[in-house]
Structure 1
Amino acid sequence: MTNRKPIAVTTGEPAGIGPEVSVRAAWSTTEPVLLIGDRGMLLETARRLGLAPELPGNVRIHHVPLRELSVPGRLSRANAPYVIETLAEAHRLVTAGEAGAVATAPVQKSILIEGGYRFTGHTEFFAEAAGVGRVVMMLVSSPKCDALKVALATTHLPLREVPDAVTQESLTEVITILRRGLVEGYGIDHPVIAVAGLNPHAGENGHMGREEIEVIEPVLARMADSDSTLVGPLPADTIFVPGKMERWDAVLCMYHDQGLPVLKHVGFAEGVNVTLGLPYVRTSADHGTALDIAGRGVADARSMAAALELAHTLQKNRDARMA
């Protein structure tokens, strides 16, 4: 076991595959892990999966009790407070210095909303908890440092709201956070970032929309400096073409479904969600709760294991840079 602080792992919606993939991932690594969730449920999950009945030496459990017994595949509003408490505890532990970073298993947004919580996603939850005005969602295809990295200028918005949300101010903040995340987390001293346009063909010189001319181009021109290279705005349908994609350290897309289908095609099994702009590292498995297979012992834990691996790597790199 290393001397590094453990990764605080929120084990997700108890009726989904979160507990299963969290336990599998924790048991498969030698790095320190702090599982946050109901102790009895997590140990029973390990037993059902045929894992060692005792906790491995690198794994501890921070007990948060279920509100009612959870049945795989069956959502319960009664356990919505439990899920929120696991997230709040992760934030508390990492800000108190008892954990080095946070990795999250999937939650079910719908049942949290039905349980009375204003919940739009992990990203927004941790931003609010940390008192951060803006964070950036970045998806990576694997925990390897040379993996495809796709960041988003906007996150969970209806498509009709996206153009109004992409402003010069917001785009400047997003690029600033993305550049800093690539430098601090990945050790890329001069990142090259490809920026997608909002409209087809990046607006076709204003014939298919003027956001590129009036918003994106002025920001890229103003932020041009020696710290990074910003390329764009580029048409989203060619920004990922082999031969071009290898030139970029990251791609910045304007909205959720502009970039994530490509990312998930390239690396769905080991994809990881990273939240940039928080005062600590936060990663997440890049999949949902999979209620249809919960409790059957067949869930693929590679994305969760990748989230743990990447959390340790990013935290180590950040610590080394700040030392």
Structure 2
Amino acid sequence: MSEAGSALPIAITQGDACGIGPEIIAKAFRGGQAAGCFVVGDEAVMRRAAALAGGMLAVATIEHVAEARDVPPNCVPVWQAPGLPGDLVEAPIGRVDARSGAAAAACITEAAAMAMRGEVAAVVTAPIHKEALAAAGVSFPGHTEMLQALAATGGEPPPVRMMLANDELRTVLVTIHLSLRRAIDAVTFDAVLQTLRIAHAAAARWGQSAPRIAVAGLNPHAGEGGLFGDEEIRIVAPAIAAARSEGIAASGPFAPDTVFMRARHAPGHPGEFDIVVAMTHDHGLIPVKYLGVEHGVNVTLGLPFVRTSPDHGTAFDIAGTGQADPSSLEAAIRMARTLCVTSSPSGTPSPSGRELG
């Protein structure tokens, strides 16, 4: 996406209508953080969300994507996604409902199609609920897998990886939504090497031509020379060596319980690494989320368009109470804007450095 492409609006998917997604979207518009964006969702749901956000926030249906940039302040432009349940607004807030799962999938599908057609600069996705998706008969376990399938253009879906990032850490995962037993089996030479390639290529697009990538081991102490498991010896280290032979600045495997401290960029503590590649979901995401979910952003690497998301879920326990914090969604919007400007179709780096969050 070039700087000219960044003049396009950003599509924000509504997320699960029964969760906090619509409310934090409304709050982002109220705070001025969502200017130049529009919602792919349901007008009635967004009107309810506007009321939860404190009222005095207009909601307007748009018929053309370009209209999103012409709406006045304190107005939420909504693209009514086709195929939404007519009674979606009646789905009970704070509970799993098949209607909200079906609607969430429909909004994601519409936004991805817009991105593939080049009509939007990026897609920012509000939280969805995996049980609601399953109740609606949606086979995908989450956004990443769904967007990967939607990005297929007549052939194999592109290889993608999840990155969770804030101003201090960036973690890219080899495996994501699998049971731990299945995830261990999914840590293969090819999977680790492909993750390193995707992370390196993505960093080049946001302005780092030679990112320092640390690779966390799978086992305690990265296997301790084979005493606690040999995956590091058989799989991870050979993949790192192969990546280095391709010019990728990868190193490790390092003990997963200390590598994140070494990589963390904090005041007075410049990190040793720019990215950490972790083998499993919780290995990689716990350190980033510990620093504050309100700051974290989920980025899907490998898609042919920019996609970001807040790093929290639907928060059914507080949905409908007006308490939801829009900070992570606002961070996702800011990062989407930055990636739209710093990325180019050819992968040529821009001088944006580390500024992503």
Tell whether the structures are fold-level matches, with TM greater than 0.5: yes
SS across alignment from 2:38? strand
Q: CA deviation at 1:322?
A: 5.7
SS across alignment from 1:247? coil
The answer for the alignment partner of 1:240 in structure 2 is 260
Equivalent residue runs for 1:8-47 within 5 Å: 8-27=11-30, 28-29=32-33, 31-47=35-51
Q: Gapped runs of 5+ residues in structure 1?
A: none
Residue identity in the other structure for 1:203: G
Give the paired residue count: 317
The answer for the alignment partner of 1:303 in structure 2 is 328
TM-score (norm 1): 0.92
Q: CA deviation at 1:81?
A: 2.0
Answer with 101-110 or 53-62: which moved more.
53-62
How far apart, CA to CA, are the structure 1 residues paired with 2:100 and 2:183?
Answer: 33
Question: Which of 73, 84, 97 is 2:94 aligned to?
Answer: 73
User: 1:215-237: CA deviations, max 9, x gaps?
Assistant: 11111112215744111000001
Residue identity in the other structure for 2:181: R
Residue identity in the other structure for 1:29: Q
Q: CA deviation at 1:136?
A: 0.5
The answer for the alignment partner of 1:220 in structure 2 is 240
The answer to whether the 8 A contact 2:127-2:310 is kept is yes
Residue identity in the other structure for 2:209: D
The answer for the alignment partner of 1:60 in structure 2 is 77
The answer for the alignment partner of 1:265 in structure 2 is 290
How far apart, CA to CA, are the structure 2 residues paired with 1:126 and 1:29?
Answer: 25
User: 1:56-100: CA deviations, max 9, x gaps?
Assistant: 537521113443223321332133321111010011111112111
The answer to whether the 8 A contact 2:189-2:236 is kept is yes
Identity in percent: 37
Q: CA deviation at 1:43?
A: 2.5
**Change in CA separation of 1:181 and 1:243 when aligned onto 2, cut-off 3 Å:** closer
Question: Which of 208, 233, 239 is 2:228 aligned to?
Answer: 208
How far apart, CA to CA, are the structure 2 residues paired with 1:273 and 1:188?
Answer: 19
RMSD over aligned CA atoms reads 2.1
**Change in CA separation of 1:190 and 1:225 when aligned onto 2, cut-off 3 Å:** farther
Question: Which of 197, 205, 218 is 1:198 aligned to?
Answer: 218
Residue identity in the other structure for 1:188: Q
SS across alignment from 1:194? strand
The answer to whether the 8 A contact 1:152-1:254 is kept is yes
User: 1:5-39: CA deviations, max 9, x gaps?
Assistant: 11111111101101001121233226410201111
The answer for the alignment partner of 1:82 in structure 2 is 103
How far apart, CA to CA, are the structure 2 residues paired with 1:19 and 1:209?
Answer: 45
The answer to whether the 8 A contact 2:9-2:38 is kept is yes
**Change in CA separation of 1:34 and 1:121 when aligned onto 2, cut-off 3 Å:** same
How far apart, CA to CA, are the structure 2 residues paired with 1:99 and 1:52?
Answer: 27
SS across alignment from 2:338? helix
**Change in CA separation of 1:180 and 1:34 when aligned onto 2, cut-off 3 Å:** same
**Change in CA separation of 1:227 and 1:60 when aligned onto 2, cut-off 3 Å:** farther
The answer for the alignment partner of 2:187 in structure 1 is 166
1:48 maps to 2:52:
yes
**Change in CA separation of 1:236 and 1:37 when aligned onto 2, cut-off 3 Å:** same
The answer to whether the 8 A contact 2:164-2:170 is kept is yes
Question: Which of 109, 114, 119 is 2:135 aligned to?
Answer: 114
**Change in CA separation of 1:242 and 1:119 when aligned onto 2, cut-off 3 Å:** same
How far apart, CA to CA, are the structure 2 residues paired with 1:66 and 1:243?
Answer: 46
User: 1:235-272: CA deviations, max 9, x gaps?
Assistant: 00110225776011010000011121111111321111
Residue identity in the other structure for 1:284: S
SS across alignment from 1:107? coil
